[in-house]
Copies of this chain bind each other. A is one copy, B any other.
């Protein structure tokens, strides 16, 4: 009921009468009053005027299960939300939930992570209320070797959502970062659990961290990291951002499931690739090499044109892009 009332308040221009809410949900006035108090405690500013009813005066950047659920319009991805005010990491929690049988599409969100990880396992210090930290649990039926494309789908969806809500250009640094004005604004960490005899996926978790309303970064990363607030000058509603990412992700994912390759988003993905036609350095376990990035192929590998070996396809790993993050 809380989620529905919140949606009604947000979508209404004027006041909604208590009587109307009572009839709609078949509850007493006291019950409606209780829900309004809960919402006020969570930070919503609600105006209540006798004989007129309730009105949402201001929507602060609140995160809660109801707030997120009231924004989500998808059929499947994010329909079930598990919210933590504070947790170690949404990836860790998502893995536990997945092992315990969480349904496909369950979304884990935290207002703050205490042990959120960046690439190479670096712990990332967060302040409450400044980031979107979320992990989507997927239980796909395709073969495990297709799963690495989910990182690319996630990056594409997040890029689309950011561009829609902020008007900024959000480019993809293959495979798992989003870059705004040459600085990193989003990191994605995808993990998979699978059965080796059956070569089948138990679950994939897609962890997404978006630097949303961060106003300052530590000195050691301030030249390479940024936030949506810093780049756009405007605060972004995190629940709206989460819902928009889910919306874009579901569209990408549904198309992906039909072909199990990148074909449906390939052109737009490559148009958003920060390294497109630029020099990259590939840190391959067998040795480092440089070349010109020519975009990803239909199975999500980065194609790199090298002077020595012609076109090389990179499946995973570290790729630096000239002009980005200190690589000059």
* Residue ranges of A at the interface with B (Cβ–Cβ < 8 Å): 92, 95-96, 99, 119, 147-148, 150-151, 175-176, 188-199, 202, 204, 315-317
Contacts and interface: CB of A to CB of B under 8 A. Distances in A.
Contacts of A151: 196-197
Contact of A316 (B99, B189, B196): B196
Contact of A199 (B119, B189, B193, B317): B317
A192 B196 contact: yes
A194 B196 contact: no
Contacts of A196: 147-148, 150-151, 190-192, 204, 316
Nearest to A176: B197
B198 A316 contact: yes
Nearest to A143: B285
Contacts of A150: 196
A154 to B, nearest CB: 10
A102 to B, nearest CB: 15
Copies in the complex: 2
Given A150-B196, A197-B316, 10 more contacts: A147-B196, A151-B196, A175-B197, A190-B196, A192-B196, A193-B193, A196-B316, A198-B317, A199-B315, A199-B316
A132 B95 CA distance: 27
A189 B197 contact: yes
B197 A194 contact: no
Contacts of A96: 99
A241 B176 CA distance: 46
A119 to B, nearest CB: 7
Nearest to A147: B196
30 contacts: A92-B99, A96-B99, A119-B197, A119-B198, A147-B196, A148-B196, A148-B197, A148-B199, A150-B196, A151-B196, A151-B197, A175-B197, A176-B197, A189-B195, A190-B195, A190-B196, A190-B197, A191-B193, A191-B194, A191-B195, A191-B196, A191-B202, A192-B193, A194-B194, A196-B204, A196-B316, A198-B316, A198-B317, A199-B316, A199-B317
A147 B144 CA distance: 13
A117 to B, nearest CB: 10
Contacts of A195: 189-191
Nearest to A200: B316
The interface centre, meaning the residue of A92, A188, A193 with most chain B CB atoms within 10 A of its CB, is A193
- Which 3 pairs, one residue from A and one from B, show the smallest C-beta to C-beta distance? A199-B316, A190-B196, A148-B196
Give the most central of A190, A195, A197, A199: most B CB within 10 Å.
A197
